Amino acid sequence: MINIIGTGLAGSSAAVTLAGAGIKCRLISAQHSERAQSVLAEGGINAALDTMGEGDTRELHFEETMKGGCFLADPNAVRALTQGAPDIVRELRRIGVPFNLNEDGSMMLRSFGGQKKKRTAFAKSSTGKMIMTSLTDEVRKYEARGLVTRFPHHTFVRVLTDGDGKCAGVRVRDSYTGRLYDMPGRVIMCCGGLSGFFPGMTTGTVTNNGMAAALLFTQGVRTANLEMIQYHPTTMGIPGKRCLVSEAARGEGGRLFSEKDGKRCYFMEERYPVMKNLMPRDVVSREMYREMRDGRKTFLDMTELLESVWEGKLSDLREEIMHYFPVDPKKDPVPVQPGIHYFMGGIYVDARHETSMPGLYAAGEFACQYHGANRLGGNSMLGAVFGGMTAAKNISENAGSADGNTREITEFSGEEPFGCEASPAFMRGIGGILYGSLGIVRDEDTLRGALDELDRLSGTNAAEDAAKQLARAMLMSAAERRESRGAHCRADFPETLEEYRKTTVSEYRNGAVRITFEDIPEAANEDNI
């Protein structure tokens, strides 16, 4: 029996992989799959399917993912990801994802940032929702066969360990009753990114509160590259959050410009004549930041897009923009600004998706894998599906007979300090400190000031203390990386330095956070993968 925490793309993918191999699993989540953050993913999923006659290859997908991530990702993991991508997308089509198709019935692909070939398979501009619907039906098939048992309205409390420090189960809390339960067996955690550390300031969901990562961190599980926070170039402010304007808008021909005193400047096209508006997100967001800093307003111009593109490829996007703003993107440019969208960092895992705690696996945005210092658009859903699948395959290969197939769930009635929640007010306090210091451009003084400010914030329970420690690790990671790379741009250290081409690892031991830089694995001989 395997316990999966989280039922978005990565968790569902892990469940389907395990159940498909006849292995039973529990699918534990705060809410149902329909509420997972994965349903918000819009633009598409990358795979070198080469259906557009451009001669795309898996090798090029690998190279561009590595380059986009500024060579901070594990090349072996990225190799496996990009090699596996075409089969994943074909499988998603097989289970019914209504992808846009070419006249000949092959997969239609669109352009996305940081990629020279059309490589992004899509279902208009609601690709995440479409994939989740089909994948949730797949999970249901295995529920009916008794291979998957869902535990909705249950949240993560702590990982249970055996005498050797190996993962032996998970303690969860039923949010309906407040009761705690211990579920034996190995664990795959797919609990999303760290949006909850920036309340109201990201494109993510409120369910994605980041607490699982914080609690796990204070249990001694290591995290990586926490300073790598993706600001998506095109977001809009809506009540209580940032709303994404999909990169697909630029992939289909949308153009960014800035305006001051009635004069327009198509700054991306002027500065990057080859890739223009489709440079990787870190580059575009920095350029947007500079325009805004210099007092210019930034807009996305989609007025030249053809009617057929709006109708067939971006219909949901237009509806969404018009719903929140009195702007019809067909007729007028849309005001957009960069907003926090994705966390490249997370729980430190190896290429097999095992964490620093033996027997505990992590996947999806929850884990630090595949994206290095900057994720390419279209690689997040791919990373989530592939990561969930990889974690499931490896955990089942390594699961011994002592993995709790016969052991039952038991109610836990003892003292549990983690059986509490961080208050929204406390998380807003943390959010203010982090947002003020982990912006698109950072510097030592601001980061040190934020650490001092964080010290003065005192938690009132174990969950708040845990959140504070993970926030500290985020700030320390950013302070210790004294270079600029990908999403981490330091005003005081603008160069990219080879000596920092390492993974920033944070660890919580004996009440203190420690940062070390670890070597990125060498690329293995391709024949051995």
Q: List residues binding another protein (CB under 8 A).
A: 31-32, 34-37, 39-40, 93-96, 98-103, 105, 108, 123-124, 126, 129-130, 133-134, 137-138, 140-141, 143-144, 150, 152-153, 176, 205-207, 238-241, 243, 312, 320, 323, 424-425, 428
Over the range 465-482, which residues count as b (16 or more CB within 10 Å of their CB) and which as e? bbbbbbbbbbbbbbbebe
State in angstroms the smallest separation of the CB of 42 from another protein. 10
The pair phi, psi for residue 498, each rounded to 5°, is -60, -35
State in angstroms the smallest separation of the CB of 154 from another protein. 13
State in angstroms the smallest separation of the CB of 110 from another protein. 14
Pick between residue 16 and residue 224 the one whose CB is nearest to another protein.
16
Helix (H), strand (E) at residue 339 = strand 337-343
Pick between residue 190 and residue 268 the one whose CB is nearest to another protein.
190
Across the beta sheet with 154-161, the strand order is 154-161, 167-174, 180-184, 410-412
Separation of alpha carbons 266 and 333, rounded Å: 12
State in angstroms the smallest separation of the CB of 181 from another protein. 17
Please check whether residue 116 is in contact with residue 138, taking contact to mean a CB–CB distance below 8 angstroms: no
Separation of alpha carbons 397 and 93, rounded Å: 27
Helix (H), strand (E) at residue 438 = none
* Interacting residues of 425 by C-beta distance below 8 A, sequence separation 6+: none
Separation of alpha carbons 337 and 293, rounded Å: 12
The pair phi, psi for residue 328, each rounded to 5°, is -95, 110
State in angstroms the smallest separation of the CB of 406 from another protein. 26
State in angstroms the smallest separation of the CB of 204 from another protein. 9
β 502-509/489-490 pair status: unpaired
Pick between residue 259 and residue 316 the one whose CB is nearest to another protein.
316
State in angstroms the smallest separation of the CB of 325 from another protein. 13
Pick between residue 101 and residue 497 the one whose CB is nearest to another protein.
101
Pick between residue 153 and residue 352 the one whose CB is nearest to another protein.
153
Pick between residue 12 and residue 504 the one whose CB is nearest to another protein.
12
Pick between residue 151 and residue 348 the one whose CB is nearest to another protein.
151
In the numeric block, the tokens 């929640």 are attached to 421
Please check whether residue 257 is in contact with residue 248, taking contact to mean a CB–CB distance below 8 angstroms: no
